[in-house]
Structure 1
Amino acid sequence: MPQFMDVHHGMNGITADQLKEAHGADLAIEQEEGVHFEQAWADPESGTVYCLSEAPSAEAVQRVHERAGHRADEIHPVPVTV
């Protein structure tokens, strides 16, 4: 299944607990869109959050994020990994 890296901006000051809560909201509904969120990272200083997922499409990733209440600002395919 294709992988995607999505980026959220404007989450300045996000804490580990807040990141865990947001990631949990995605995990709770991911199966409904055929998505699996693998990992999430955050930089509280810049307000940037990154999520790595496997999904049928970028649109499916966005639908999960929108339903969970934190729309992604960017979604990038990850066609090559090592």
Structure 2
Amino acid sequence: MARFMDVHRGMKGITADQLVQAHQADLAIEQEEDVHFEHAWADPESGIVYCLSEAPSADAVQRIHERAGHRADEVHAVPLSI
């Protein structure tokens, strides 16, 4: 399974509770696309949210985000890590 980092923009002012709710919405349906969202980070000041996942494809990640109500602006494969 591949790893992906996706980016959401335009979420200025996001709160910790809203980040948890968005992440939970992904987790509730992730198994339908064989995706697993591992972690999410947010900067309320800039409005940028990052999500790390394992999935069969970037398209699968995007489909879950879209169905959960928060389409990613970018989805990047991250094949190398240390």
What TM-score range do you get, normalising by the shorter chain? over 0.9
Letter in 2 for 1:49: V
Q: Please list, as runs of the form range in 1=range in 2, the aligned pairs for 1:23-34 lying within 5 A after superposition.
A: 23-34=23-34
Alignment-derived partner of residue 13 in structure 1: 13
- CA positional deviation for 1:33: 0.4
Segments of structure 2 that go 5 or more residues without pairing to the other structure are none
Amino acid at match of 1:74: E
Q: Which 4+ stretches in 1 moved above 2 angstroms?
A: none
Identity %: 79
Alpha-carbon distance between aligned partners in 2 of 1:75 and 1:61, rounded to the nearest angstrom: 8
Aligned to 1:39: 39
Question: Partners in 2 of 1:13 and 1:24 — Cα distance?
Answer: 19
Q: Tell me the equivalent position of 2:67.
A: 67
Aligned match of 1:76: 76
Q: Would you say how many aligned residue pairs link Structure 1 and Structure 2?
A: 82
Deviations along 1:15-55, one digit per CA (max 9) or x if unpaired, are 00000000000000000000000000000000000000000
In structure 2, the partner of 1:22 is 22
How far is the alpha carbon of 1:81 from its aligned partner? 0.5
Unaligned segments of structure 1, at least 5 residues: none
RMSD between aligned alpha carbons? 0.2
Secondary structure of residue in 1 paired with 2:49 = strand
TM-score by length of 1: 0.99
Q: Determine the C-alpha separation between the residues in 2 that align with 1:63 and 1:79.
A: 20
Q: 1:58, CA displacement in angstroms?
A: 0.1
